[in-house]
Amino acid sequence: MDKVIVSGLLLISSLAAAVMTISIITPALGSDRDSITKSNRVATNLVSTGIEGLSAVVEDRNGAVISAWFKNVGSADIKPVSAMDLFLLSGNRFSGAYLEFCSPPCARDGWSVLQPATSAVWARGETIHIQLVLNMNPMTIGAHIISLTTPNGVSGEIHFEYGAVPKPTLTPIPAGLSISRSTASVNESSGPGNTDTFEVVLDSSPSSSVRLSVTSSDPGEVTVAPAILTFSASDWGSPQTVTLTGVDGKEPVADGDQNSNIIVSVVDAFSAAGYRSVGDSSLVATTVDDGCSGPCP
């Protein structure tokens, strides 16, 4: 009888232990399952995220404003944009600074997104234009790195150099004048084709006004209007139009087509000193013969 009682007690103890074990293991298994699912989700997100640094430009001589462009080359959107981390590092990575995200215009050292504006999501395939503002600590001359990291830890970098911006050396454009064409054609009789035009313009800004004369080598074949062109220091780059008109000589016999030189010259006495040595420009005007004035012999 005692053996039966002892055996019953042992069975009850075993069942209780089994129940306790199951109650402990089951939540643990569920927790492991959630952890595995979460880990897979994180791994998938990491694999699908990718950013690439494209270019950086220092926008002022003091090194206080920098524009940079990054592209989302992954297969997933990146969000929120404001949660990304940005570091401006020296080229050797020995020093650097963390810049906080700010809404433009940034009052302190920080960075903001200029394009696309007001977007909290960096869409896949999209390029963003960010601006770094260094009001308190402008860049020093040398090599630098912009490092941008997404909220899930994927980074992209831009390497660039900043130095003294040289003043451009401009080669002065010499004084000169240009005409819009080298040939023209007019009919000697009135009507369609009796006129033609060309334009004249100066090549560079004069110190004062420049006067040009326009003449025909044979006014009996073709005339010009106006005969005088005046350019000032403010309108030297605006072309002026000259009209050519064919002249009917009423010849008793046909004299054929005639060529005349249309000459554009600087009037030295009324022109800026820099233009007085400029040579003439010319074009050839052809006056098309319309035959003889009466019955042709």
- At 141-168, the pLDDT tens digits run 889 999 999 999 999 999 998 886 456 6
Task: Tell me the pTM.
Answer: 0.45
279: Cα separation from own chain's centroid: 39
Quick: pLDDT tens for 61-109: 888 899 999 999 999 999 899 999 999 999 999 999 999 999 877 878 9
What number of CA atoms fall less than 13 Å from residue 83's CA on the CB side?
11
The maximal CA–CA distance of the chain, rounded, in angstroms, is 162
- Reported confidence tier of residue 297, pLDDT bands at 50, 70, 90: low
Q: Residue 33 pLDDT more than 70? A: no
Q: Residue 241 pLDDT more than 90? A: yes
Q: Is residue 9 included in any domain, yes or no?
A: no
Q: Which CATH number does the domain housing residue 247 bear? A: 2.60.40.10
The stretch 11-32 carries a mean pLDDT of 52
User: Of the candidates 162, 185, 218, which is a domain's last residue?
Assistant: 162
Residues 197 and 153 in one domain: no
Q: Do residues 226 and 214 lie in contact, with contact meaning Cβ atoms separated by under 8 Å?
A: yes
- Reported confidence tier of residue 17, pLDDT bands at 50, 70, 90: low
Which of helix, strand or coil describes residue 107? coil
Measured CA to CA in angstroms, residue 169 lies from 7, 43, 172, 241 at distances of: 106, 54, 9, 34
Q: Residue 50 pLDDT more than 80? A: yes
Q: Do residues 293 and 252 lie in contact, with contact meaning Cβ atoms separated by under 8 Å?
A: yes
The CA-based dihedral angle spanning residues 7, 10, 12, 16, taken in that order and rounded to the nearest 10 degrees: -170
Supply the range of the domain harboring residue 267.
177-288
The stretch 220-228 carries a mean pLDDT of 96
Quick: pLDDT tens for 188-199: 888 888 999 999
The stretch 130-150 carries a mean pLDDT of 91
Percent of the chain with pLDDT over 90: 57
pLDDT of residue 7: 52
Indicate the number of domains in the chain.
2
Q: Is the dihedral of CA 219, 221, 225, 228 positive or negative?
A: negative
Residues 188 and 129 in one domain: no
